[in-house]
Structure 1
Amino acid sequence: MNNLRDLPSMELLLQNATLLIERFGRPLTLDSLRLTLDETRARFKTDPETILPSIDNILDQAESHLSTWTSPTLLPVINATGVILHTNLGRAPLSSATIQAMNDVASNYSNLEYDLSKGKRGSRLIHAESILQKLTGAEAALVVNNNASALLLVLSALANKKRVIIARSQLVEIGGGFRVPDVMKQSGAKLVEVGTTNKVRVSDYKDALGAKTGLVMRAHRSNFKIVGFTEEPKLKDIVDVAHDADVIVVDDLGSGALLDTANYGFAHEPTVQESLAAGADLVCFSGDKLLGGPQAGIIIGKKVLIDRIKKHPLARAVRADKTCLAGVTATLVHYLKDEAEREIPIVRMMSITLDQIKVRAEAWREEVGYGEVVFSESTVGGGSLPEESIPTFVLALEVKSPDKFLERLRKANPPVIARTENDKVLFDPRTVLDEIMLINVLKKVLAEYL
């Protein structure tokens, strides 16, 4: 008859757990052994006929716990969906130079807040500013940790307890349920809606301008469209009306394009340079969307306003860290050197030709020995260029159960994220960075599945 007293002692288990202790440390190994013994005792109480595990069985179960505890939840995956800026998959992959720049400052001390020429304390706020000035023509710039922070900081610094005028059609909700009205409320600004959902005129802005107006804000609808019976004034017309009333204009672009997306077959996405040329006093945009860099919020515009923003207490709470500043700078250098199409992954994905994609898809078909190459569409995603797509070719696999096949792909090492269409699993070369790894995973999963 089984007896819990027959379980090996903790001392005996530790004597046999030398390899586990070397890999995971003694305290964590001890925790895993205790948990394994507790689980065994619980099973025994439920079923006294349970066969007690051997020392090897206990060590195997403890190792399983240790592996689970020490394995990261954030993993690299292969994006074969054809969605270039896939928010759920981390948006923009970084260029080699950007990764190197971030690694250099992360693995060493840096002059983050040290003035090398003067030999005394400096400011982290200067990093990336000069290159943003050069690229955009802005008087000043500030980098924070994301674009929602940028907007919150601008509103808090310039419009607390003041009126902020915005078109009703621009009260957008971004990913995760965050809404522009909620951000404005958090800043202490008073929201003043103008126009209707589908029709906004310059006269609506003009009529709303009055005492205690802190600023006029435009929020670019980067993740949806309003079509049909619509009307909306150009940014320059809004700027002219606001400036006539001595009110500043903030343009929240969101996606932050520095290049004309129309050059790559998409609709034109308003660029940062265009907003400044239209007279916007401040422009806010993301670093990890169409810019193709690390997560960041970037504010550019009039120096007098940027200086006020830099001094606001919230600026410290949302400031960018050294790796972010290094990464943003390295990404911007690609634009400055006119090498973005070659070096920045998402720009390269947008600019690759249809013929090049077809060649890659056919090579996959040849290597895998299964499926067919068919015409399809890629999208930008990431809250940029809504409903816009460009032609692509994909490797299409017809399998018995697409959902189960996708599940196996997700459980692979590395996980592969694909998409389905017409009961076929599709793999788009446009967004795949490591083709060899993808082919190896496909071969293995197909061998097990077919």
Structure 2
Amino acid sequence: MIWNTMMGTSILSIPWGIKQAGFTSGIILILLMGILTLYCCYRVVKSRKMIPLLDTSNWEFPDVCKYYFGSFGQWSSLLFSMVSLVGAMVVYWVLMSNFLFNTGKFIYNFVHDINVTDIVPGTNGSNKVICPSAASGHPPQNSSVMFSSGNDTGFELFEKWWNKSQTVPFYLVAILLPLLNLKSPSFFAKFNVLGTVSVVYLVLLVTVKAARLGIHLEYNWFTENAFFVPEFRIQFPQLTGVLTLAFFIHNCVITLLQNNRNQENNVRDLSIAYFLVGLTYLYVGVIIFASFPSPPLSKECIEQNFLDNFPSDDIMSFVARIFLLFQMMTVYPLLGYLARVQLLRQFFGNAYPSIFHVLILNIAIVGAGVAVAIFYPNIGGIIRYSGATCGLAFVFVYPSLIYVISQHRAGQLRWPALIIHIFIILLGLANLIAQFLL
């Protein structure tokens, strides 16, 4: 359950993050961030038990923050929790627009027997890999040339009304806004298995593509050109920002572990879940990066969503987009429900004070998603900014401070523990600052 909940859209940006960090340093950072976030998550799980003389069995982590930091802890934890939830919903909207656009384009071309080739540079053959970032100067936005079709006017009309940034993000409003206004999204929780199916299929896709493309790694310690793989790059904080959200489950881990029949196994189960998540990220990131054909393309072509490196007429990528689209359309209302419960209950004492309150909140959230899909559809940037921001509080600062304060009150605080946890807090702060500098 924890693995299924933690695995999200970040997996699509891990190969791009490795590109930004450098191959060897990218692998090391995935391992180190996995260990660090696991330890901080362990501190969250144990935080309730460090509070004496109170029944904390029904407490969530924001309740623990309120106990230690008063109203500041209560409101700041709400703020950072909303950043993580709304940030995830914005990323979902960008990706759903992307997947819906490519799915519609594939279906239209197939139905009308249109032979389309992408303008963007890429490899030749049946296992084509493309480089969208190298084609920024090529019109039109939909980036396609039609070799043969029955009706040129119909194709141009389709491209006008089926545009990735100008029209498709608005089409999603008609589907998802009504779903967000439901009082209980329990129906969509039944489709949680789609998340597991999607991730398993992505691993299969990555394995098949790598087997067909082969491994393309060339190292040079002293020079960096289009085809050599750098071991270390100064942009490595971009990967740590992505990984902070990729390993982020700290604001709901207590709730998830409450369902365990044997509570004494919580730490073991948490460790196993983090190991599996880290292994999945490592496998997908390394395999996509290593198999990306360089030459003839450059590793710089790896996109923030690695599925964009496969053309819209690629069958396996089409199936992956279908899986992910339906998964996200079922998870999106659940995220909206969590945001509604946390925000409206805090202000009005009721998660559904009226349809008017709920509608205003949902229009604001949906509007943010549409605006970002139009003007800043960069999921890697959104993930790392929101991940580093909410991670500063829930991953690095609050768990460490709560542990230090509880140990101090119990008279058990030692200098090594104090230094280690101050260092963790400084790492979180540096991680956030670096996102805006690099």
Whichever structure has more strand as a proportion of its residues is 1
Answer whether TM exceeds 0.5 for this pair.
no
Provide the TM-score with structure 2 as the length reference.
0.25
Provide the TM-score with structure 1 as the length reference.
0.24
Rg: which structure is higher? 1
